[in-house]
Amino acid sequence: MQPFIRGRYQARLAGTADDILAAQRLRWLCFVARNGDEDDGSQIDCDALDAQCQHMLIEEIASKRLIGCFRFLPLSGGAEIARSYSAQFYNLAALESFEGPMVEMGRFCIHPDIRDPDVIRTAWAAMTRFVDDAGIEMLFGCSSFVGTEPEDHAEAFAMLKERHLAPRRWLPRVKAPKVFRFARALRLRKPDPKRAMAAMPPLLRSYLAMGGWVSDHAVVDPALRTMHVFTGVEIRAIPPGRRRLMRAVAG
């Protein structure tokens, strides 16, 4: 896959061990340092799945500074879904029957000092190009909320319950030891759409704009101090207007 350039930014696949190390370092700054852990400049976020994934780097062209990254794991179909990161936390047996190519997108992060929405647009454009080139039929991953108190995210969870739950045929079941079953707990709560969407993590907003759906529960991760929901997008179900826009941006 060739590098993708949008304005000030470039998205490219990691090509060296140093590239991957830089992504792991940025992930640590985004996911761990925010919790107050001391930083001696050498800490990284890594796991065994890194070796199986491809890693996308988003860089500022002028400075060559790494400002964003994510990793992705292509799968031939649902029969391989047990290999995914998400399968550690969700019972994904329902998705084992999905027959088309899939890709799991994970560890998405943007440097804490960066607030430019073009960074996430660049990342999605690069991912769109990969999805089209590889004939991917489902994109999935975990979308994280910062903080582990359910009430802090209740408005967003209520909106997910109201409008964005997974189809029953694909619905992930509970596997993790600590979860918040928001679809059950908030069944009577009516969300305020404006407040709810403002409270959604940017990556999850992007999934939902593509017609994405989520699990009916959130997994509580005390180590990273987050709550995350399984998120899936069936490529053929993306609204035509959104699909044309994404492909136009991806070139």
The Cα-based distances of 225 to 88, 144, 145, 165, 222 in angstroms read 17, 10, 9, 24, 5
What pLDDT is stored for residue 247 in this prediction?
Answer: 81
40-83: per-residue pLDDT in tens?
778 999 999 999 999 999 999 999 999 999 999 999 999 999 99
Burial of 247 (0-12, 13-18, 19+ CB in 10 A): middle
Taking alpha carbons only, the member of 181, 150, 177 closest to residue 165 is 181
Question: Does residue 162 register a pLDDT over 90?
Answer: yes
Question: Does residue 251 register a pLDDT over 80?
Answer: no
What b/e readout covers 24-62, taking b as 16+ CB neighbours within 10 angstroms?
bbbbbbbbbeeeeeeeeeebbbbeebbeebebbbbbbee
190-209: per-residue pLDDT in tens?
999 999 999 999 999 999 99
Q: Kindly report the average pLDDT of the chain as a whole number.
A: 94
Lowest-confidence segment of 143-152, 212-221, 237-246 by average pLDDT: 237-246
How much is the pTM?
A: 0.93
What is the Cα 201 distance to its own chain's centre? 10
Angle at 137 between CA 160 and CA 217, to 5 degrees: 25
Identity at 9, one-letter amino acid code? Y
Question: Does residue 172 register a pLDDT over 80?
Answer: yes
Lowest-confidence segment of 35-39, 132-136, 145-149, 162-166 by average pLDDT: 35-39
What pLDDT is stored for residue 41 in this prediction?
Answer: 77
| In the block, residue with structure tokens 């987050």 | 226
What pLDDT is stored for residue 150 in this prediction?
Answer: 96
Task: Report the DSSP pairing between strands 102-110 and 138-146.
Answer: parallel
pLDDT (average), residues 109-127: 92
CB 93 within 8 A of CB 212: no
The Cα-based distances of 170 to 19, 38, 73, 231 in angstroms read 35, 41, 19, 11
Local confidence band at 147 (pLDDT 50, 70, 90 cut-offs): very high
Q: What percent of the chain has pLDDT over 90?
A: 85
The rounded distance, in Å, linking the Cα atoms of 41 and 62 is 24
What pLDDT is stored for residue 243 in this prediction?
Answer: 83
Q: What percent of the chain has pLDDT over 70?
A: 100
The two three-digit tokens of residue 125, written as one number: 């454009």
78-110: per-residue pLDDT in tens?
999 999 999 999 999 999 999 999 999 999 999
What pLDDT is stored for residue 79 in this prediction?
Answer: 97
